[in-house]
Chain A
Amino acid sequence: MNHNEQNIQDPLEHIIEKTWHLVPPFWPLSHLIAVNPLQSLEEEPFEEAVDRAQSLFEQKELPNLIRSLNRNNIKWMQSFFDRGQATFPMPLKHLGFYRSWRKLAAYDGTLHGHSAEKKAWIAALPEDAPTAIRHALSALGLLDPDHEKLIGAVILGFLGWSSYVKYLHREETTHGHAGHLLHDYLAVRLATLFLLHSKTCSVPDFPKRDVLIKKRSIAAIQDLERTYLADLLPKIRRKAPAQERPKPEAQFVFCIDVRSEPFRRTIEKHAAYETLGCAGFFGAPVAIRDAYGQHNACPAIITPDHQVGAQSPQPSSLFSWIKKAHHALKYNLTTPFVLPDLLFPFLTPWVFLSVLFPVHSHHLKERFSPKKLPVIRSVDTLPLDTQCTYAFQFLSLMGWVDGFAPLVVLCGHGSTTTNNPFASSLDCGACGGHAGGNNAQIMAMILNQPVVRAFLQQQGITVPETTCFVAAEHDTTTDEVFFFEKGCSEIVLERLRALRQDLMQTGADNAAFREQHLKRYAHAPLINAKKRSVDIAQVRPEWGLARNASLIIGPRWMTSHQSLEGRSFLHSYEPSLDPEGTQLHTIMTGPMIVAQWINAQYFFSTLNNVSYGAGNKITANLVGQFGVMQGNASDLMSGLPIQSVWRDDRTPYHETLRLVVLIHAPPERIHPIIAQDPGLQRLIRNAWVHLICLPVGGDEEPLWLNPELTWCPSTLFFQDT
C-alpha cells in the first residue's frame, strides 16, 4: 500500500512503529489471555531480553515530566475507554480518541490553565493524529535526534495503558479496519505534554540504558529448570506397556491445561477409562454469538471464519425485573438516596449471611436462580465441509483413528469464582479466555452427525455406530463436571449416570490433591473448594495454571502411571500415524505457542509483579469494566495479580522456569518443522523454551535441541556451557 511505503521511508513513523513494537498487548478482563510481556524481545536471547526488559520496563525512576503527563492522562484514558461503567459517558467518543480529546481539552483547565494562548493552541491542533504528533513535537522544540527518546518515554512510561491501546489496535486491525488508535494515543500524550510543560528544556532520559539495576541471575532460573527436568525425565515411560489393556468403557478428551493432568490421573484410577489431551477448543475455532454479543472461542493466534449461536442462560424473569427496578433507582441523580433504606431489611441479613456463611448463602441464591451453562442448539452455521474438516483434524491431531469407546466425553473446562476481577484468567485460554463447554458441544454435535462419520470413514477413521460423543465442562474451581446431555439417547443417559458417580469421587480426590497446595483446610475438600468458589472475600479461589512447567507431546501411556503434580500440559500425539510430521507441525505451531505464552505470563508476573503483574487484589480498583488500577488512580495493571502467583507477600508459589517441551517423535521429524518456522526457531535459538526429544522406541537417550539447533544428549542440558 502507498501509505505503508511512506511509513517505511519516514523516520518519525519508523520510530513510532519501533517503539510500539516493544509494547505487549493486554486483553480486557472479560477475556484475559496470557501473553508474554516480553513478546517483542523474543528476537533476543532470553538472558539479554530479561536484562533489556529490566532497563525498559522495570526502572524505578520516571522523569517528573512524564509523571505529570500520566497524572493528567489517566482520567482521559479511563473515560474514553470505559465500556459502560459510567452512566454519563464521555461525550464525542464516536470521533475517536484524539479528536474527542481535542474537543474536550478546550474546556479542561488542568490542561490549558485558562491561558488564551494555550486555548488557541488547542483550537489550532490539526484534525488528524499523525499530523498532530509532528505539530506537538515541533511545538515542544525538539530536534529529530531527540524524537526517539521522547516517544519511548511517552509510551513506555505508561506501559499498562499503552498495552491496552495496543490490544485495541490489534482487534481493530484484525477486523480489517485501518487502526488509528496508536497514533491517536501518541498525539494526545504529546499534545498534553506540550500543554503542561510548553517547551521541554531537557529530553527525559528514559528508559536509561546505563542505569545500574541488579542483574538477574539466570543461573537461578537454570537451576530450577534442571532440577525440574531431572525429576521429570525418569518419571516418563519410554516404552509402551506390554500387557494389553482392557477395552475402555469410556474415553475422555481434556484440554491440555495443566489442571487437567491430576484430574485425568484420578479418573483413570476409577475404572477402565481412557483420557486424551488436546487444545481445549476441540478443533472448533469459531466465534460464539450469544445474548451479550460475540466473542472468539479459540486461541488468540487464530481468527475464526465462522460463528455459532449459543443460547445464554436467562436469569429468571423475577430476577431480571428486580434488577431492572434496582438499576433504575440506582443510576440516576435523585432516587439513589432512597435505595439504602429500601434495601435495608433485605441487605442486612444478606450481608451477614453471604460473608459469614458463603456456601449456605450460595445455596439459598441457587434456589432462586440456579447456575446454568450456555447451550449450543445447532451447528448449522458451519458449512458441512468445514464440519468434516474440523472433525478429521481434531481426531487425527491426537492420532486417534480407532478404538473408540461407546461413550466419548469431550470435557472442556471453565471456572466459577465470585467477586474476582481475574476470573477469566482461570477459564480456558484455548477458548479465548472463556469456558470451554461451548466448543465441546460444537465438536460433539459435529462428531455425532452420520454425514461426518461417513466422511471420517473415507479418511480411514472408523467411529463405530454405537459410539456417542457427549460434551461436558469441568469446573476447575469446584471440581464438578457438568454434562450437556440434551438430545442423548436413553442408553447414553444410563451410561452417564454410572459415570457421574465416578466423577463425583474423582472430583473429591482431585480437590483433596489441590487442597494440599492451598494449605488451609484439611478436611472436606469438595466443600472447601465450593466455599472458595462462592466466597466474595476469597482472593485465591484456585491456583489456575501456576507452577506450569512443561508440555509433553505424546501418547498417554508415557505419563499415566505417575503424578506430574499438575505442572504439565499434555497433548496426545501418535508418532506412528504421522510420518510426514503434519500433525506435529500443527501441535508445535499451535498449542506449543499458546503454552509458551501462558508460561511466560506466569513467569514474569511472578518475577516482578509490579512491572509485569497486576499487583495486590486487596487494593485493586476496577476501571471501565475492562481493567484494574491500583488505588485512587494508576497505570493500568496488566498481568496477573500477586495472589495468583505468590503464596503470600513474601513467598512465590509459581516457579520461574521456562517451558520445557518434551516430544515423543523421531528427532529427524522435529528438526524440519523448526527449520521451516521462524517463530519456533526464534524461541529455541533464544532459549525461550527448552526442547527435549524422546526418540520413539525408548532405547535411545533423550535428546536436547540446543540453541544452535543441533541435537545433543540431554545430559548436556544439565551442564554449564
Chain B
Amino acid sequence: MNLSFLLSIDHISIMMLGLIALVAVVVRSYAIRHLEGNGHYRMFFANSWMLASSIGLFAMANHVILFWGAWLSANYFLIQLLAHKKKWKAAQSAAFLTQSYLLVGSLFLGAALALLWFSSGSLYIDQILNHPHNTPSFLWALVFLMLAAMVQSAIIPFHGWLLSSLNAPTPVSALMHAGLVNGGGFLLVRFSPLLLQQPYFLNALFVVGMVTVCVASVWHLVQTDIKRMLACSTIAQMGFMLVQCGMGLFSAALAHVVCHGIFKSYLFLSSTNLALEKKTDLPVMHQLDALVLALLSVGVSYPVFCFFADLPVLPNDTQVLVLFMGLLSAFQVSMALLQTGSPYRMLFAVVGSLFCVSVYGGLFFLFETVLLPHHFSAPQPLSLLHVSGLLVLSVLWFFSRHVRTLLRRQHPPEWLQRVYVASLNASQPFATTRTTYRNDYDFS
C-alpha cells in the first residue's frame, strides 16, 4: 500500500495545520502557568496534545477511514478534556451532552463517507472528489455531510453542546473554539467540489447559516456572562461561515474559519480583561451630517476595496457579499469615528474606512489567490434568496443601536420584551449542566 495516498498535503491542510500549530503552542504555553497547581495538570497536556494531533491528522487525511478515525479521536479527547472534574456533576453532565451530540455528528460523517465510498468505489478523498456523481446515494451522502458539519460547528439547532460546554477550563474552551468547531467548516471546504454540483444544497446551507446568524447574533448581545457571550458569538460566526459556503465562497469561508479560530481562542484566554473593559456605545444612526460624511468616506474606500480584493465594481454574483461586508464595516467604523468630536474626525473616518477595506479586501484576495488551484471559489449567480439575505443583514446592522435604545426606554414595545425573554431562554445552557447549588461545585 502506498502510504502517500493516506495523506494529502495541500493548501487547505497546510492552512489548517498552521492554525492548529499556532493555537496549540499558545494554549500550551498559557496552560503551563494557568493550570499550575491543578490536580489534572498532566492529563490536560496529554489530552490536549492528542486533541491537537488528531485535528492535524484530520486536516491531512486523504483516506476516508483515517479521516473518520481522526475526527472521532479529536472528539474523544475533547470529551476527556471536558470531563476534567470528576466530582463536579455539571461538568460530567456537560461532557456527556457533548459526547451525545458529537457522536451523532460522527455517525452522520461515517454514513456520509460510507455512502461516498459506495457511490464512487474509492476510499481516497481526492478520487472521490474527482468522480462524477449523480446517484441518490451520493445525494444522501451530501445531506449527511452537511448535517455532520452542522453538528460539529454548533449550527442551530445543533448548538446545545457548545452553549453548555463552559464548565471546561479556559484553555480547553480556547482549543475548542479555535480547533474543534472549525471541523465543520473544514469538512464543507474539503468536499466543496461535490457541494458545488448541487446548487439546492448550497441554498440550504445559506438558509440554515442565515437563521443561525440572525438568532445567535441576538443571543450574543443579550448575554451577561462573558464565556456564554463568546460561545454565542462562535455559533453566529459559524453561521456566517455557512452563509459563505452557501454562496459558493469556500475560500472566504476557510479564511473566516482560520481568522476566527485565532480571534476566539485569544478572547477566551483573555476573557477577564475582555469582560471588565469599559465599553463605548454604538454610533447613532440618525445623525444626518455623520451619515453623509460616512457615506463620503465609504465612497472614497469603494474603489480601493475593489482594487485590493480584485473585484469588479459591481459584481453580479455572490462575491457581492464580500463587498457588502467590507463596505458595511468601513461605514460602521466611519460613523463611530465621526462621532468622536475630534477636529480631525473626517480624516480618521477616511483612514479607518480605508483600513477596513484594504485589510478585508487584501485578505480575501490573498486566500482566493492561494486557493485558486483548488477551484474552491465558485461564486454563484445572485438570486433573490441571496439578496434578501443581504437585506436582512443590513436591517440587523442598522437597527442594532435602536434596539438597545428601545430596551432602555421606560416602555419598551411588548414584542421586544417577548423577543428578549425568548432569546434569554433559548440561549440557556442545558439544565443539568448548570450548577444549581454552590456546594455541588468541586474545584479539584
Question: Measuring CB to CB, which residues of chain A are less than 8 angstroms from any residue of chain B?
Answer: 29, 58-60, 62, 66-68, 70-71, 74-75, 78-79, 82, 84-92, 94, 103-104, 107-110, 157, 159-160, 292, 317, 320-321, 323-325, 327-329, 331-345, 347-348, 350-352, 355-356, 418-421, 520, 535-540, 609-611, 615-616, 618-625, 629-635, 637, 642-643, 646-650
Rounded to whole angstroms, the CA-CA distance of A159 and B279 in the bound complex is 30
Question: Is B133 in contact with chain A by the CB < 8 A criterion?
Answer: no
Contact of B34 among A320, A537, A629 (CB under 8 A): A537
Max chain A Cβ within 10 angstroms of own Cβ: one of B31, B35, B263: B263
Task: Name which of B85, B169, B437 has the most chain A CB atoms within 10 A of its CB.
Answer: B437
Contact A329 B329 (CB under 8 A): yes
| Interface residue ranges, B against A (CB under 8 Å) | 22, 25-26, 29-39, 85, 88, 90-91, 94, 163-171, 213-214, 217-218, 220-229, 233, 236-237, 240, 255-256, 258-260, 262-266, 269-273, 275-276, 278-280, 282-283, 325-326, 328-329, 332-333, 335-337, 340, 342, 348, 352, 356, 359-360, 363, 393-394, 396-397, 399-401, 403-404, 407-410, 412, 416-418, 420-422, 424-425, 428-429, 431, 433-444
Q: Contact at B417–A348, with CB atoms within 8 Å?
A: no
**CA–CA, A70 to B435, complex, Å?**
9
Measured CA separation A711–B439 after assembly (Å): 41
Chain A residue contacts of B94, Cβ below 8 A: 631-632
* A/B interface sample: 27 pairs, CB < 8 A: A70-B437, A85-B224, A88-B403, A107-B422, A327-B279, A332-B282, A333-B218, A335-B332, A336-B236, A340-B259, A341-B255, A344-B262, A345-B359, A356-B26, A420-B272, A615-B441, A621-B226, A621-B227, A622-B226, A622-B272, A631-B94, A633-B428, A633-B434, A634-B90, A634-B434, A635-B437, A649-B444
B37–A62 CB distance below 8 A: no
A104 contacts B420, C-beta separation under 8 Å: yes
Q: Are the CB atoms of A633 and B224 closer together than 8 Å?
A: no
User: Using Cβ atoms and an 8 Å threshold, which residues of chain B touch A86?
Assistant: 221-224, 229
The answer on a CB contact under 8 Å between B329 and A338 is yes
Task: Name the B residues within 8 Å of A67 (CB-CB).
Answer: 436-437
Q: State whether B437 touches A622 (Cβ < 8 A).
A: no
Residue of A at shortest CB range from B434? A633
Contact yes or no, A610 B428, CB < 8 A: no
Q: Which residues of A are found within 8 Å of B259, using beta-carbon distances?
A: 340-341, 343-344
Across the interface, do B164 and A160 meet the contact criterion of CB distance under 8 Å? no
Shortest CB distance A55–B (Å): 12
Contact partner of B438 (CB less than 8 A), chosen from A66, A331, A611, A620, is A611
List 19 additional A-B contacts (Cβ < 8 Å) besides A89-B408, A91-B417.
A29-B276, A58-B439, A59-B439, A86-B222, A159-B438, A317-B342, A321-B340, A321-B352, A328-B280, A335-B332, A338-B360, A343-B259, A356-B26, A419-B273, A619-B168, A631-B88, A631-B90, A632-B433, A633-B428
Asked whether A341 and B237 contact (CB < 8 A) given A104-B417, A332-B401, A421-B272, the answer is no
Question: Which of B167, B266, B283, B407 meets A351, CB within 8 Å?
Answer: B266
Q: Which of chain B's residues have a CB closer than 8 A to the CB of A160?
A: 438
Chain A residues whose C-beta falls within 8 Å of the C-beta of B273 in the assembled complex:
418-419, 536
Return chain A residues, CB-CB under 8 Å to B229.
85-86
Say yes or no: B31 contacts A537, CB within 8 Å: yes
Chain A residues near B279 (CB-CB < 8 A): 84, 87, 327, 331
| Best-buried of B31, B169, B325, B329 by chain A (most CB within 10 Å) | B329
Asked if B228 and A632 make an inter-chain contact with CB atoms under 8 angstroms apart, the answer reads yes
What B residues does A616 contact at CB under 8 A?
A: 38, 443-444
Residues A107 and B429 in contact in the complex (CB < 8 Å), given A338-B329, A421-B272, A536-B269: no
Query: Among the listed A317, A342, A418, A631, which residue makes an inter-chain contact with B356, where contact means beta carbons less than 8 Å apart?
Result: A342
Rounded to whole angstroms, the CA-CA distance of A91 and B91 in the bound complex is 32
A539 touches B224 (CB 8 A): no
User: Do the beta carbons of A352 and B22 come within 8 Å of each other?
Assistant: yes
The answer to whether A78 and B225 have CB atoms under 8 Å apart is yes
Query: What B residues does A637 contact at CB under 8 A?
Result: 438, 441
Chain B residues in 8 Å Cβ range of A535: 33
Bound state CA distance, A159 and B214, in angstroms?
A: 37
Please give, as numbers and ranges, the residues of chain B lying within 8 Å of A337 by CB-CB distance: 213, 236-237, 240, 256, 325
Give chain B residues whose Cβ lies under 8 Å from the Cβ of A85: 223-226, 229, 275
Tell me the smallest distance from the CB of A165 to a CB of chain B, in Å: 15
Asked whether, in the complex, the Cβ of A634 is within 8 Å of the Cβ of B37, the reply is: no
* Cα distance A103–B170 in the bound complex, in angstroms: 36
Closest 7 CB pairs of A and B: A648-B37, A328-B336, A631-B167, A332-B400, A334-B397, A634-B435, A340-B263
CA distance A633 to B432 in the complex (A): 10
Least distance between A63 CB and chain B CB atoms (Å) = 10
Q: Which residues of B contact A338 (CB under 8 A)?
A: 325-326, 328-329, 356, 360
Give the residues in chain B near A331, CB-CB below 8 Å: 221, 279, 282, 400
User: Smallest distance from the beta carbon of B24 to chain A beta carbons, Å?
Assistant: 12
A317: chain B residues at CB < 8 Å are 342
- The reply to whether B329 and A335 contact each other, CB–CB distance below 8 Å, is yes
User: Contact: B443 with A609, CB < 8 Å?
Assistant: yes
Docked Cα-Cα span, A563 to B236, in Å, equals: 57
Give A163 to B32 CA distance when docked, in angstroms: 34
Chain B: CB-nearest residue to A520: B36
Name the contact of B166 in the complex, choosing from A71, A324, A350, A621 (C-beta under 8 A).
Answer: A621
Known: A84-B279, A420-B272, A624-B224. A619 touches B237 (CB 8 A): no
Once the chains bind, are A630 and B282 in contact (CB under 8 Å)? no
Cβ distance A300 to chain B, nearest Cβ, rounded Å: 21
Q: Specify which chain A residues have a CB less than 8 angstroms from the CB of B165 in the assembled complex.
A: 632
| A66 to B30 Cα, complex, angstroms | 38
Residues of B within 8 A of A622 (CB): 225-227, 271-272, 275-276
A344 with B326: in contact, given A87-B221, A611-B439 (CB under 8 Å)? no
**B-chain residues with CB within 8 Å of residue A642 when the two chains form the complex:** 443
CA distance A347 to B85 in the complex (A): 32
Whether the pair A624, B225 counts as a contact (CB closer than 8 A) is yes
Of the candidates A79, A538, A618, the one having the most CB atoms from chain B within 10 angstroms of its own CB is A618
Contacts of B36 in A (CB 8 A): 520, 539-540, 648
Q: In whole angstroms, how far apart are the Cα atoms of A535 and B34 in the complex?
A: 10
Residue of B nearest to A317 (CB): B342
Residues of A within 8 A of B88 (CB): 631
Q: How far is the CB of A388 from the nearest CB of chain B, in Å?
A: 37
User: Please, how many angstroms separate the alpha-carbon atoms of A564 and B26 in the complex?
Assistant: 40
In the bound complex, residues from chain A placing their C-beta under 8 Å from that of B275 are 85, 421, 622, 625
A600 and B414 alpha carbons, distance in the complex (Å):
48
A547, chain B: closest CB distance, angstroms: 16
Residues of chain A within 8 A of B325, CB atoms compared:
335, 337-338
A contact residues around B436 at 8 Å (CB): 62, 67-68, 70-71, 74, 634-635
Given contacts A344-B259, A419-B272, A649-B38, contact A62 B434 (CB under 8 A): no
Name the one of A94, A325, A329, A635 contacting B435, with C-beta atoms under 8 angstroms: A635
B37/A325 in contact, CB under 8 A: no
